[in-house]
Amino acid sequence: MAGSGEWWREAVFYEIYIRSFADSNGDGIGDLRGARERLPYLRDLGVDAIWLTPFYPSPGADHGYDVSNYVDVDPMFGTLADFDDLVSAAHDLSIRLIVDIVPNHTSSEHPWFTEDRSRYVTVPAGGGLPNNWPSNFGGPAWTLDEERNEWYLHLFAPEQPDLDWHEERVRSDFEDILRFWLDRGVDGFRIDVAHALVKDASLADEPDVPLAPFASDWRRAIDQPEVHDVYRSWRRLADSYDGDRVLVGEIVFSDQRRLAPYLRADELHLAFNFSLVFQP
């Protein structure tokens, strides 16, 4: 594999949006076998690692970022055996592979949501919207489920209800999910909206609803102190595996001083740098 010991510091990562990258069977949809067939091409480009976008079962409300099962492969992309073949073939060519994990929210079709919803941020109905938090996709971040007589939070689409990371069961479930993929040989994870997992438990109003992209300057809906406990736990888990597994955070801040704490020695290894997005 490309280097050893902190290989990620110098590595060239290549994003594969699985649906459109390479179609192995002519059905018009990219798939895991297609990605496997193109590995020699990526090696010849000088790629050290692949970031694989979500390939999990999903209704497709947000390009696969609405996951209905975190420990399987969507049949349109192949099977778990195809995934294992991709990992093995990549490693044979000294290419590492990290996968997207989406821990802020699930699909509204996930069994956790269709059943008791104890893992989600919900508020009993009555008296209007619970607070002034807006969705990144427009409109309020709350949808009223009239059948259950409760509001549920979604910082993105209504089909993407937010998990409640104050719940110990959510933390335990996701450590099991990480282990499932680490045991299959993945070299790490790209963590979707990594700064947004934990919300202010009071659900107090944001003092100023921001205009910045992806609500990067929110204070209550994202970037709560407890999120660092999550990543310290994930880092301990990643470090318990051999091969120097890596955690990469998608953290969208205009202020680099808010980004830096996520990259402490016992938290994430890497983070996306969005600072240029916010420049004039």
Catalytically annotated residues? 192, 250
Considering only CA atoms, which of 277, 265, 219 is closest in space to residue 238?
265
Instruction: Give the residue ranges of DSSP H helices in the chain.
Output: 18-21, 32-37, 39-45, 80-92, 111-114, 168-183, 227-239, 256-259
Q: Residue 215, exposed/middle/buried by CB under 10 A (0-12, 13-18, 19+)?
A: buried
Query: C-alpha dihedral over 123, 128, 132, 133, to 10 degrees?
Result: 40
Instruction: Give the residue ranges of DSSP H helices in 222-263.
Output: 227-239, 256-259
Distance CA 158, CA 102 (A): 16
**Contact between residue 117 and residue 205 where contact means Cβ atoms under 8 Å apart:** no
